[in-house]
Structures are given as structure tokens and as C-alpha cells.
Structure 1
Amino acid sequence: MKKSITALGLMSGTSLDGIDLALCSFNNKKSGWSFRIEASETVPYSAEWKRKLREAENSSARDILLLHNEYARYTGEVINRFLNGKTKPGLIASHGHTIFHQPQKHFTFQLGNGTFIAAETGIKTIADFRNMDVALGGQGAPLVPIGDRLLFSKYDYCLNLGGFSNISYEEDGQRIAFDVDPANIVLNYLAQQVGKEYDRDSLIAQSGKVDDTLLKELNDLPFYNEKPPKSLGKEWLDSELVPMLKKSSLPLPDQMRTLYEHIAIQIGEVIHNSGTMLVTGGGAHNPLLMERITACSKAEVIIPENKIIDFKEALIFAFLGVLANQRQINCLAAVTGASRDNTGGTIHLS
């Protein structure tokens, strides 16, 4: 029997919740890959780190380079505390924190210098998972679909509700995947206008009502008419959607409730067939959002155990690291639009 491979996956999303860590073991048998999440934790960002990450995109090149290394040192410290008393993994796979993602201009940048993480932890670290794909003309996103295909193949659709919602599914022997619409990133933006981190238990949205005029404006955004492969970033949010909300005279609860409806409608639009849909990410904990997605979708919605809801992306980044370390394909051209399938990730030896 082949020995299992242990890897630590790290993910930091655009919603600035914190760093997700998942210590995972993988086995590759004739029947395919299997996995187990051995330990997991979300380490919330302090107010200071949230400010630094939020403001980074407007910083000078020098300050971004300094932050690149500072964030890596911090990440290494978080890893060392998390691993205390646990099995030491064979590798770390760190997504980092996205500051810029503009594949149409051929660049993407995630904070968290892999060399510094390796130096801090003494463990081989794989980082920069998106750059090879962008260099090959792809979107550099989404990266999770190879994990959906190899680890979660029993579901017809895999929907992740993070900062942005993204979906992946098989069609004619190819994996199709793309960003659908903004999700937690815009809901949190509105919640923060009234001093809340997020819309806990959908309470803000439930006090509002859907506005048909704003809903139509949202649904008419040009992105939704683009064909996959396509991806979203904070730059799109700031230029396309936030100005629409700022000019609206609607009460904030009505804006929030309308956004819930918008998110659910756009997800429903991309579900073409019945079947099962695995839903993960922070949005899976949002009762009204899940109610509306279920109502707007043809597929049967499956909400897994909390460990999968909250750590599926960190799990899959651990898996991407395993594939990269074995020089196997971990990024699909059919998904990203790159000129070929590729292996993303730079390896930093300790």
C-alpha cells in the first residue's frame, strides 16, 4: 500500500476573514485520489492586518515588496503555532493573499513570499500557483476545479461561496469552471457600512426587500454575458458594482436583500441541468442566501459537514501543492483559457 502524502494547505480569501489552514493526507490508489482533513483552523486577521491588506493595492512598489515579506513571516508564525504538536507535513501549499488580479493585462499577484515561509517553518513551500497560467494566456483562475474533478467527482456541480462565487462541473468530458458573481465580498462591504463584519444570520437582508430596478441593473452588468473562461477580482467590484450601490438612494437593507436575490439568480442561470450541487465556502452558512439559491437552482443543493464547507479551498490548495510537487498537471486550460494545461506553483526549498 502506498504511503499517504501529508500537506498543509493555506488560503486567504478576498473577504478578509483570515487564514484558513488545513492539514491533509492524500492517497492515490487505482480507484483514484482520496483525502482526509487531519486538522483545520481559521486564524482571523487582526484589525491591523485587515487594514494593511485592504490598503495594499494603493501602496508603492517598495511598500508592497516589504509587505510581501512581512506577510510571509506572519504566515510562517501562524503555521508554526498551528503545527505545534501535530504531524509535520511534507510540504506547505500557500495561496497567499491576492492584491492584484488582472489577467487581461497579464499579471496577478498574491502576497506571501514562499521563500520566507519556507525559511520561517523549515518546510518546503509551494506558492505562486496562478502565475504560470497567466503567463500562458489564461485567467489564472479558478484553480480549484482540478480538485473538484479528482476529489469531489460524485457531485454534478461544485459551488463555492467565498468572496466571489465560482462553479465547476463536467461537460462533454471537459471540466468547465468560472467565477459566477460577487458574493461575500460585496455582502460584507454593505454590512460594514452599518458597523457589522458580515450579515450574521441574514438579519440585515431579512429586514429589507428586493428592489426590481436595482436588481435589473445588477443583472445587466456586462460580465454576465461573457462566455467562460472568466474570472472576477476586487478591481471589477470597485469599478463596476460598488459605484452602482453608492449612487443608489435605497435603504441599505433593501440593497442587501436585492444583492442576495441577484447572487441567487446568477447562480441559477448557470445551472443547466438537475443533479447534485455541493455548496461550500462561508456563504453556505448564510440561511437566506442558501434559501434563495435553492429556490433559483435546478440542482439538488448538498451542504456538507462544516469542515468541508469552511476548508475545502485550503484542502484543494494542499492538493494542488501535492500535484505540483509530483510535476503533475494542476491547472486546466479548458477552465482558465490558457494555451495548454499546466503545472502552477513555485517550489521554495527549506
Structure 2
Amino acid sequence: MLNNSYTSIGLMSGTSLDGLDMAYCRFWQEGSKWEYQILKATCLEYPNELFLKLKNAKGMSGEELAKLDIDYGKWLADVVNSFIFKENIKPDFIASHGHTVFHQPENSITLQVGSGNEIFVKCAIPVVCNFRQLDVALGGQGAPLVPIGDKLLFGDFDFCLNLGGIANISTNLLGKRIAYDIVPVNILLNHQAARANMTYDNGGSLASQGSIIEKLLVQLEALDFYKTSFPKSLGSEWIEENILSIKGFDHHPPENILRTYIEHIASRISSEIIALSDNDPNLIQKILVTGGGAWNTYLINTLKKKLGDKYDVLVPNKDLVNFKEALIFAFLGLLRIKSLNNCLASVTGASRDNCGGVIISSQNIIL
């Protein structure tokens, strides 16, 4: 840590279980503006046994969940230690999102496994974790958390659109930062890709060969979630109950369902962006797109067609596309250590802005 510069490893596991994103980042301030650099980054696939446990965690007993929390924390610590050794780096701290098992803010529940204590003990580096629970306790959605990073690191863009397991958007509407989940993305697409014996539909090539199933599209578009106003967030439970459980379309080939999902996703996202732009003439339609779905060329092209020429849809460099969330969780950890708010009530609906996260260290951290 030199000259007001801070380094951190951010860890992010998304709802689609694509793998663990790990980013070693540097942050510094120039005047009042925060700057960043992704120095090293990697994505690790989960070992099959761990993948299955995380995928099926919702059905575990309390004792099994407690064991998974410990085991996953130990695995996180092992891969972080290997990353540190391989890259010969010395982070000031580790910021870990964990993996979400339950997210039911309406019931004051959010649970991310991946014990920060285990990471700290094995890595001997301060750890910041449990970012969502304070906001939920304050009556908020506990999600999304990334918008404070969008505001402070990516303020040059009108919209930050993340296409992960779930699509979420962040923008500064009429002087106030808002953000919310829009629609499931990779959770749906990967589920259908598996029917075709693929991990994912590379570039959307299979979807591009399909046809829209109009009856399915009508059911998707009619879901109540899309009629509610923000702040709002989605969890895997809602997706399973309201979309993956839809009956009567299993006889359709996966390419047709994929094509229908693409149409639905692009329609939901474009409708939200256009509506937000109509409400604020200062939004000049610059859209930063990140997350694994940014590489789905067919989805991006479908979205561009629906938005029209006045919107500038930018898919940035590979590191930023793939590791923006890990970068921002590293940043959220820095804000927590410096006792600065890292969660916005205007985004989550909490009773106040807050500084969420638990710091695990053998001594007070002063950055």
C-alpha cells in the first residue's frame, strides 16, 4: 500500500454458477474521483462435487449448510493462496461476496456461504464478507450492491447493464442513483443449453437457429415481477417457481426455447432502458454492458435492434466484461474498511444508506 493506493482481491460467485471470478485490483483517488485498475484476474470452474453441493444447497439441512459454509470457505482460501503465490502479489485485504443460497428480502432472509473466518485463517489476510445482511436488516432488498461502484467508478456511462445469471441495471435518474434486477438471463439460457448437452450457448449460435414460441413468450411477458416498480430484486427461487416450472413446452427443441428466452430478455431490457430515458432527458444513452451474457452476440444484436440507433451499446475489454463484479466487490470491501457507505438506500429501498460487510482481522485495519 503506497501513496494512497490500495490493493484487494475481489471474489464473486454468481447465481448461474459459471465459476468463481477472482480479481486483484488497485484503487486510488485523484482529487475526489476514485480510479481503478484490474491487475490480475481469473475465473475458476468449480470442482464437480462442490458445484453440485452449491447447486443443491437450497435443499440441504441446517447442519449440511453449516458444513458447506466451512468447506466452501476453505476452498476459497486455497484458490486465493494459489493465486497469490502464482502471481507473486500482496493484497491489503480480500473482499468475498460468497455464494448466495437464499435471497428472500421480503422475509428478511439473505444467505451467502463461504466462511470469511476460514479464508482469514488460511490466508492470514484481512477479509471483508457478508455484504448484504445489514441492508436487509434495514428493510432493503440487499441487492443490487454493485451500483455504488457504478456511481463512483463508471460515472461516465448513463447505464451500467450487467448480464449475469440475472440482468440488472444501474443509472443516475434525475440526480439519484437507482438500480434493480430486470430479468433472468444466463440462468435461463444455460438451463436450456444443458438440454443440448452444452454448458452454454456460445455466442447464442443455437438460439439463432430457433423460432419464437409465441405462447411461451406471452406467458413470460405477463409475469407480475415485470409490472412492479423498483427497488426490486430476483432470486433463484423465484426463477424456478415462475419460469423454469412452466409446463407444456418440453417437446420444443432447445433452440426454440432459447430463441424465445432471447426475445424475452431483450424485450424486458430494452423496455426498461427506453422508459428510464423517457423520464430523464439528461440520459444520453451510453450503455456499458458487462457480465457473461455480453459475449452472447445474438442477444446483444437482438437488444441493439430493439433499442435503435440512438443508443450506444458498448461491450468493453475482456477483463472488464468478465470481472467487473469482482472488481466492484473489491471496491466495496475498501469502502467498508474506510467506513464509507457502500450500499445506497435509493437502490435497495433500505431505511438509510449503509456501510455493509463484516471485517475479519487480527487487528484494526487502517488504510
TM-score (normalizing by structure 2): 0.93
Gaps of 5+ in 1: none
Deviations 1:223-250 (A, max 9, x none): 0001000000100011000111565543
2:324: which partner in 1? 312
Matched to 1:297, the amino acid is L
Matched to 2:34, the amino acid is W
The SS at the match of 2:56 is helix
1:11: which partner in 2? 12
2:88: which partner in 1? 86
1:107: which partner in 2? 109
- Indicate whether 1:285 and 2:295 are aligned: yes
2:37: which partner in 1? 36
Query: For this pair of structures, how many residues does the alignment match?
Result: 350
- Cα deviation for residue 17 of structure 1 reads 1.3
Q: Does structure 1 retain, via aligned residues, the 8 Å contact 2:169–2:181?
A: yes
Identical pairs, percent: 45
- Indicate whether 1:302 and 2:314 are aligned: yes
The SS at the match of 1:339 is coil
1:326: which partner in 2? 338
1:129: which partner in 2? 131
Deviations 1:56-94 (A, max 9, x none): 110000010011010000000000001114221111000
1:349: which partner in 2? 361
1:179: which partner in 2? 181
* CA–CA separation in structure 2 for the residues paired with 1:180 and 1:70: 32
Which one is further off, 40-49 or 99-108?
40-49
- Cα deviation for residue 253 of structure 1 reads 1.3
* CA–CA separation in structure 2 for the residues paired with 1:196 and 1:325: 42
Q: Tell me how large the CA RMSD over aligned residues is.
A: 1.2
Matched to 2:55, the amino acid is R
Counterpart of 1:188 (choices 190, 202, 211) is: 190
Deviations 1:139-182 (A, max 9, x none): 00000000000000000000000000000000121111000000
* CA–CA separation in structure 1 for the residues paired with 2:303 and 2:93: 37
- Cα deviation for residue 297 of structure 1 reads 2.1
1:200-215 equivalence runs, <5 A: 200-215=202-217
The SS at the match of 1:331 is coil
Matched to 2:298, the amino acid is L
2:122: which partner in 1? 120
1:149: which partner in 2? 151
Deviations 1:108-137 (A, max 9, x none): 000111111101100000000000000000
- Cα deviation for residue 11 of structure 1 reads 0.2
The SS at the match of 2:172 is strand
- Indicate whether 1:219 and 2:200 are aligned: no
